[in-house]
Amino acid sequence: MKHPLADTKAPPAEVSFWQALLFWLKLGFISFGGPAGQIAIMHSELVDRRRWISEKRFLHALNYCMVLPGPEAQQLAVYIGWLLHRTRGGLVAGILFVLPSLFILIGLSWIYLAFGDVPLVEGIFYGIKPAVTAIVAQAAWRIGSRVLKNRVLWAIAAASFIAIFAFNLPFPAILLGAALIGYIGGRISPSRFQAGGGHAASSTAAGPAIIDDDTPTPEHAVFRWSRLGWVLLVGALLWLLPMAAMTTTLGWSHDLTQMGWFFTKAALLTFGGAYAVLPYVYQGAVGHHGWASPTQMIDGLALGETTPGPLIMVVAFVGFVGGYVKALFGPDSLFLAGAAAAALVTWFTFLPSFLFILAGGPLVESTHGNLHLTAPLTAITAAVVGVILNLALFFGYHVLWPQGFGGLFDWPSALIALAAAIALFRYKRNVILVLSLSALAGLVVHLLL
């Protein structure tokens, strides 16, 4: 329904590139709350307050970004920046969405490694770890309640949990199997693989927008094969040149080279949000490469939850810890090694997101809503629920039995986890609040016991 003030409001003045740049910079510092919170902030600012884009066009862009792997809120910023100010607008929006988080995480990661044995810091992380376990469990429930609409999708979720929990199958193999089931199932029984819906937004219109419902697609956003070829070529060079340089100078087995390769693969597996790809990161970073310990990974997720930007920025923490602990630049340059590794990991993680928008946006948008495309994605998201549940159990084991099942049960951590779960599930409290109170409780327990 049309807003009663829509006809009386004048269209907003065209926004300049520099005005947009200042907004994207601000967004990079205030984008807390995970993808749902970040999308809500953009909707409030861009649709309701500034009227840079209409409700319909905003949701159209959001639905497109949800089809792609990668952080959907960051991709949405790239998309809107691209519509407003061409390629440079998309680049600025996407980079500034991530950059503040990268600098903050580098600083926090250094404090964590350099001063982690200080009682104050130990106590804070003692309380945060069980809260993170509850947060991951809530993520499994939240995604599951949206996606698992029938027995077939429940069966896919259960099978993925068994595959990774009992048989330790690689995460990509689980996704590939789910996609194959969705592809076949979408043809045999399409109704069972309908998408479960997306993020909600306000249904009211704020008035005429710069990019309104009937605004023609900007010339630079119309799909052309020639433009697609050029963007893919530039994107391939941006990936290939640093990888070739590291392989030539450091060798393929060097940790920095392996980080570039590993996190490129991780970036292409982030269907369903950051929690979906975290098990794959854990398998590789902890089990195979040894860049971080299980405890450090839990702490890293806690830092990612308490900083602005996409949650997938936890990979910057992984990179920093790997570079710092392994002293990649020598014992006298630990911070430099960690910072370089964090920046490298961030580059390879987010490069595909920019390419998906700048190169494939119009093409993917033209196929959105096609069940042959969305059925495999629905099956993948169902499988992700089982994988995230396994991740919650993984965290719970390391938090509640820190010395293994043969050791003592950590009952204070269990009480903090229970209280965090009640706050999240029953009272729908904000994640930042839950983490803050849990950190305070952990500090009290750590100082008293």
Asked if residue 310 lies in contact with residue 71, where contact means CB atoms within 8 angstroms, the answer is yes
- Residue 145: its pLDDT value, please? 83
CA dihedral (61, 63, 68, 74) in degrees, to 10, reads 50
Residue 214 lies in a domain: no
Residue 144 lies in a domain: yes
Residue 3 lies in a domain: no
Residue with tokens 């629920």: 385
Residue 202 lies in a domain: no
Residue 12 lies in a domain: no
CA-based torsion, 32, 43, 277, 99: positive or negative: negative
DSSP letters spanning 305-351? HTSSS-GGGHHHHHHHHHHHHTTTT-TT-HHHHHHHHHHHHHHHHHH
Q: Convert the pLDDT of each residue in 362-411 to its tens digit.
A: 775 555 456 666 688 788 878 878 888 887 888 888 889 988 888 899 99
Q: How far apart are CA 226 and CA 87, in angstroms?
A: 15
Residue 13 lies in a domain: no
Q: How far apart are CA 172 and CA 366, in angstroms?
A: 27
Residue 7 lies in a domain: no
Report the interhelical angle of 371-400 vs 171-188 (nearest 10°). 140
Decide: pTM greater than 0.75.
no
Cβ contacts of 170 within 8 Å, gap of 6 or more: 280, 283
Q: Which DSSP state fits 203?
A: -
Strand partners, 53: 211
> Exposed, middle or buried, 416 (CB in 10 Å: 0-12/13-18/19+)?
buried
Using DSSP, state whether 47 is helix, strand or coil.
Answer: helix
Strand partners, 211: 53
Averaged in consecutive runs of 10 residues, what is the pLDDT profile of the chain (449 residues)? 52 88 90 68 84 81 73 90 93 95 92 80 83 84 83 94 88 84 90 60 60 78 86 95 97 95 87 70 86 87 80 91 94 95 96 90 59 74 84 85 88 95 90 87 88
Q: Convert the pLDDT of each residue in 224-242 to its tens digit.
A: 889 899 999 999 999 999 9
- Residue 427: its pLDDT value, please? 92
End-to-end CA distance of the chain: give it in Å, rounded: 60
Asked if residue 165 lies in contact with residue 33, where contact means CB atoms within 8 angstroms, the answer is no
- Looking at the 3D structure of the chain, how many domains does it have? 1
- Which residue range(s) make up the domain with 134? 19-29+32-50+53-197+219-448
DSSP letters spanning 122-186? HHHHHHHHHHHHHHHHHHHHHHHHHH--SHHHHHHHHHHHHHHHTS---HHHHHHHHHHHHHHHH
Q: How far apart are CA 259 and CA 385, in angstroms?
A: 26
> Exposed, middle or buried, 71 (CB in 10 Å: 0-12/13-18/19+)?
buried
CA-based torsion, 229, 233, 236, 238: positive or negative: negative
Residue 184 lies in a domain: yes
- Residue 304: its pLDDT value, please? 80
DSSP letters spanning 381-416? HHHHHHHHHHHHHHHHHHHH-TT-TTS---HHHHHH
